[in-house]
Every structure is written in C-alpha cells, then in structure tokens.
C-alpha cells in the first residue's frame, strides 16, 4: 500500500491505523474524513529527529497549520513539541484554544490587516513574519502604540523555480509574497527593520513552493539565503540568527509519485547548507522548516458513498459520490491526482475505468479522472487516500453542503475531532438580530 498506515483486513476492507474504514463509514456516515494521528505523531518525531541530526539541536519543525487546522491537531503538535506557522487570526485562535504556546507561533501572510497585527501583538505571538515594507511600517506603529516590542522575521523571495504546479509556487520574483533579493527590496526592508525601535529582527524566512520532490530547489534557496545573510552581515551588521526555509516537502499521492525518504532528504539538505555556510563564512543559523502537507496528508482518508454509476458508451463511466469539491477542491483547482479505492474490495484488481464525480451542480466538480476501481454499485463505499492535507482546511459550503466530520484514529480507537455540520449550522448566521450583526471578531 501507498503508506504504512493503510492496510487491508481479512474481509478485504481498507483499514486505516488498523481500523476497518467500511465499519467507520457505517458508524459515522459519509462523506467522512479519517485521520490516523499515530501516523501524524510518527511524522512529527521523524522530523524532529532528522532536523536535530541535520541542522543541530536548536533547529525545529514548524507545523504549517494551513494544511489541516482544528483544535485537535494543534494539541497534538503542542504535545509533540513542534512550533506552528499560522496564517490568520483564525488559525492563531484555534491554536490558542488548543493550548498551543503563543510564543511558539510564527504569524505569516502577505496581507495582514492592522486588526490581525493587533491581535497577534496582544496575544503574544512569538514571531511575526513581515511580508512587505507597508506591513513593517504598520507593525512598528502598532507596536509603539501598544507599547510592546515584537520579534520578527522578514519574508524574502529568493527567486527560484521549484518545478511544481504553477499555482503553488511562491518563491519566484513575480509573487505576491515577500521581498525579492534581486530587486533590492529585500535589502531595503532589512535595513528598515533594523532601525525600528519596537521590532527585533531575529531572522529571515523564505518559502519556495509546495509538493516538491527534488532537493535542488531547497539547496538553491539555502545557497541564496546564506549568501544574502553573509552580504547583509558585511554591509549592514545584520545579526539575525534564524533562517526559516519554509515548507514544501512532497507527498506520494499515487503509485506514480516518487517516494521520499524524508530523513535522508533532510540530511542531504543539512550537508548542502553546511557547505554554503562554510563558503560564505557565516555561522550556521538556527534552521527552521515548515512542513504542512508531509506531516498530515498520508494520515488522511476520505470515505464516500457511491450514488449513481453512469456508463456512457464511447465516452466514459461516471461514478458519482456524496461529496466532491466542497470537501476536496484540489482536483478542480490543480488537477491533483489521487488514489481511489473500493473500500470494501481494497485488494481486488480494479476493473472499472471511470471518472469520480462530486455531487455539485458543476461539471468541473470531479475528484479524479482516468482512474480504475472495482466496479462499484449504489451504496458502496469509496475511499480516496492521502487526503489529510488541504482537504478539510480548504472545504467550503458550496451548494450549501455541510462539512464532513474529522474522525481521529489512534491506538485502535476512533474519536470525533471535528463533528459533522448540521443543517442548522448552515443557516445559523443568516438573518441574525441587528444588534449582533456587526459584532467585532475579538480574541
């Protein structure tokens, strides 16, 4: 099977974390997100260990909560001793609700509002990753007005093509994120940051993209960033000690994807980094990296009930399921490829080529095309593997469809991490009394 958390039991049913997914579908209904948190914890421990070996004991993984954001996952990340990358007050407040230490949070985003920044300052968020000169000025003013000092990193755009999907590249110069080195914007913001009395410049950050399988783009980023640090040390006495190289490690979604041996990958990056530090004659910075997808993706499986099975001779077969783009928009957005299985015949040879279609009123609402499954019938359970990342966190209510629950699987037991939305949740915000309609969001 694609990842070690998947299996097949004596009845031929797909298992996750040892539990029968078909039974879980009957118990909790579908669509259903499952998450094997023992697998997530194993990934956390693997990253902590590999980071310490490759980059030294001060380095640490920072969980990119955008991959999967709910209270339970932040609690697990806190227990495992990871830092967190949050990208909105909503993510920060969810982390806080989980008891996640605010000092271990890095607040990201290319357009934080004054209200967002004020919230982060008042909650004592550990570091704010400043994206632009406008934001730097605004943050200084807000920190001065609140009479606090804020620790910051600067988001730098190294200018790299990481060979991934166009929409998830972020480290190239033509990007809404960060300040580019080649344009001089990075040097300008660094000099400005060093002069802000209420801001402490602790280091630099870059993020080159997501779902990256090659080591070179990361090595290139490390090269450009360490070279930049060396120049800034010389020219301006820049003294920041942190270098955050972002997230982006790839994940195997189908048998066609390469496998990544993460510890060796991290170890190779550690060597590349050490070479660069030597070449540019700087001390190795405290290295942080922000895995999101690779911590949670494989641990997730989504279960659906099959509705209609339509064979259109000369064209294709459609298998329609009771979910779709509202719970997984990734095929619609990126043509992402998935492994789809008949959960009740998980080890039987697939014999039915088909397109798996969602239930929305939209032709593009597909989960997979050109896949083959054991021929399903109405009422059967289909499983889509590797859905732990960017599925629940990207879910919408399109067509007024309630979001599925997230069921945690750990040590052979299933518990509800997020409950299924009810019909009344869908209209809970409609036509509220005028006195509550304009309530401020406050922490």
Where on the chain is the footprint of ligand LLP (CB under 6 A)? 64, 66-67, 85, 108, 168, 170, 207, 210-211, 246-249, 290-294, 330, 334, 390
3-state secondary structure 63-118: EEHHHCCCHHHHHHHHHHCCEEEECCHHHHHHHHHCCCCHHHEEECCCCCCHHHHH
Q: Are strands 381-385 and 413-418 parallel, antiparallel or unpaired?
A: unpaired
Q: Which is nearer to ligand LLP, 261 or 278 (CB)?
A: 261
Q: How far is the CB of 102 from ligand LLP (least distance, A)?
A: 19
Judged on CB neighbours under 10 Å (0-12, 13-18, 19+), 208 is: buried
Q: How far is the CB of 338 from ligand LLP (least distance, A)?
A: 12
Residue 273 and residue 59 in contact, taking contact as beta carbons nearer than 8 Å: no
- With vertex at residue 2, the alpha carbon angle to CA 263 and CA 53, rounded to the nearest 5 degrees, is 5
Neighbours of 373 (CB within 10 A): 25
Alpha carbons 87 and 244: distance in angstroms, whole number: 15
Q: Which is nearer to ligand LLP, 292 or 404 (CB)?
A: 292
Helix (H) or strand (E) holding 369: strand 366-373
Q: Which is nearer to ligand LLP, 157 or 170 (CB)?
A: 170
Q: How far is the CB of 290 from ligand LLP (least distance, A)?
A: 4
Which residue among 5, 206, 360, 361 is the active-site one? 361
Alpha carbons 217 and 220: distance in angstroms, whole number: 5
Q: Which is nearer to ligand LLP, 72 or 205 (CB)?
A: 205
Q: How far is the CB of 135 from ligand LLP (least distance, A)?
A: 15
In order of 36, 47, 64, 300, 326, the CA distances from 265 in angstroms are 24, 11, 19, 23, 34
Q: Which is nearer to ligand LLP, 280 or 334 (CB)?
A: 334
Q: How far is the CB of 286 from ligand LLP (least distance, A)?
A: 17
DSSP secondary structure letter of residue 374: S
Active site residue 361: yes
Just list the catalytic residues.
Answer: 361
């Amino acid at each position: 099977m694609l990842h070690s958390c998947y299996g097949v039991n004596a009845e031929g049913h797909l298992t996750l974390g040892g539990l029968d997914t078909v039974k879980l579908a009957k118990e909790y209904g579908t669509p259903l997100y499952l998450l094997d948190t023992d697998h997530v914890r194993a990934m956390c421990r693997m990253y902590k260990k590999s980071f310490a070996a490759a980059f030294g004991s001060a380095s640490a993984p920072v969980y990119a909560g955008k991959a999967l954001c709910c209270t339970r996952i932040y609690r697990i990340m806190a227990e495992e001793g990871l830092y967190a990358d949050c990208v909105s007050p909503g993510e920060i407040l969810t982390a806080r609700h989980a008891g996640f230490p605010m000092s271990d949070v890095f607040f990201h985003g290319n357009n934080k509002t004054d209200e967002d920044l004020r919230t982060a300052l008042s909650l004592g968020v550990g570091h704010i990753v400043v994206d632009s000169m406008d934001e730097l000025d605004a943050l200084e003013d807000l920190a001065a007005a609140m009479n606090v000092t804020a620790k910051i990193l600067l988001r730098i755009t190294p200018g790299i093509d990481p060979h991934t999907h166009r929409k998830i590249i972020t480290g190239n110069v033509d990007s809404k994120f960060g300040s580019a080195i080649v344009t001089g914007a990075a040097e300008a913001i660094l000099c400005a940051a060093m002069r802000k009395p209420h801001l402490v410049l602790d280091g630099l950050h870059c993020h080159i993209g997501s779902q990256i399988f090659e080591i070179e783009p990361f090595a290139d980023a490390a090269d450009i960033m360490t070279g930049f640090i060396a120049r800034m040390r010389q020219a301006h006495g820049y003294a920041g000690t942190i270098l955050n190289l972002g997230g982006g490690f790839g994940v195997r979604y189908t048998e066609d994807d390469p496998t990544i041996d993460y510890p060796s990958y991290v170890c190779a990056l550690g060597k590349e980094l050490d070479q660069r530090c030597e070449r540019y004659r700087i001390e190795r910075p405290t290295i942080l990296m922000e895995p999101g997808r690779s911590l949670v993706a494989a641990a997730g499986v989504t279960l659906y009930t099959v509705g209609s099975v339509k064979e259109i001779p000369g064209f294709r077969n459609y298998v329609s399921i009771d979910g779709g783009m509202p719970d997984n928009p990734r095929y619609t957005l990126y043509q992402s490829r998935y492994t789809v299985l008949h959960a009740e015949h998980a080890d039987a040879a697939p014999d039915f080529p088909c397109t798996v279609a969602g239930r929305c009123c939209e032709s593009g609402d597909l989960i997979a095309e050109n896949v083959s499954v054991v021929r399903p019938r109405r009422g059967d359970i289909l499983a889509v593997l590797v859905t732990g990342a960017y599925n629940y966190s990207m879910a919408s209510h399109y067509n007024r469809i309630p979001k599925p629950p997230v069921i945690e699987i750990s040590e052979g037991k299933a518990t509800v991490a997020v409950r299924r939305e009810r019909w009344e949740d869908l209209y809970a915000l409609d036509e509220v009394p005028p006195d509550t309609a304009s309530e401020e969001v406050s922490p």
